[in-house]
């Protein structure tokens, strides 16, 4: 009597069955992965389009906020500018010492620099933001 082991059939061996099921599982995983990547690409595209549509409004809002802040600094007293620049500088220095990310520290220095520049422009009204020439005029 002949048994399965005697026939030597590769189809009946456990390794052949495992290899077949592994290739089926791999192709299923590949298809699922491809679908997930496709979905992610569609999501990224939609978010990018939405962000691009909102960008002009955000830029206009930021510009108006900067213009209002500049107007308030120019209209404020020297004492107010001194206190504001000291407060902003102190906050930025504290963030720097505390180990905050550099982007946040630089963002905290921006109002201090703007206020100090406004005070310098008040102290030297004849000298605007015009650069000097090389001839020393």
As a whole number of angstroms, the distance between CA 50 and CA 44 comes to 10
Kindly report, residue by residue over 42-89, the tens digit of the pLDDT: 888 888 888 888 888 888 888 888 888 878 888 878 888 888 889 999
Cα 118 from chain centre? 30
Whether the CB-CB separation of 113 and 91 falls below 8 Å is answered with no
The pLDDT of residue 98 is 94
As a whole number of angstroms, the distance between CA 13 and CA 33 comes to 31
Q: Is the overall model pTM greater than 0.75, yes or no? A: no
User: Does residue 130 surpass a pLDDT of 60?
Assistant: no
Range with top average pLDDT, 20-29, 90-99, 119-128: 90-99
DSSP 40-67: HHHHHHHHHHHHHHHHHHHHHHHHHHHH
């Amino acid at each position: 009597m002949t048994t399965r082991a005697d026939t030597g059939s590769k189809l009946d061996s456990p390794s052949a069955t495992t290899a077949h099921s592994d290739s089926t599982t791999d192709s299923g995983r590949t298809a699922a992965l491809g679908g997930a990547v496709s979905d992610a690409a569609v999501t990224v595209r939609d978010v990018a389009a939405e962000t691009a549509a909102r960008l002009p409004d955000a830029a206009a809002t930021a510009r108006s906020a900067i213009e209002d802040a500049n107007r308030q600094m120019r209209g404020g007293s020297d004492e107010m500018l001194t206190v504001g620049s000291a407060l902003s500088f102190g906050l930025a220095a504290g963030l720097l010492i505390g180990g905050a990310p550099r982007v946040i520290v630089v963002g905290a220095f921006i109002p201090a620099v703007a206020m100090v520049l406004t005070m310098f422009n008040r102290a030297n009204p004849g000298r605007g933001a015009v650069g000097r020439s090389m001839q020393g005029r």
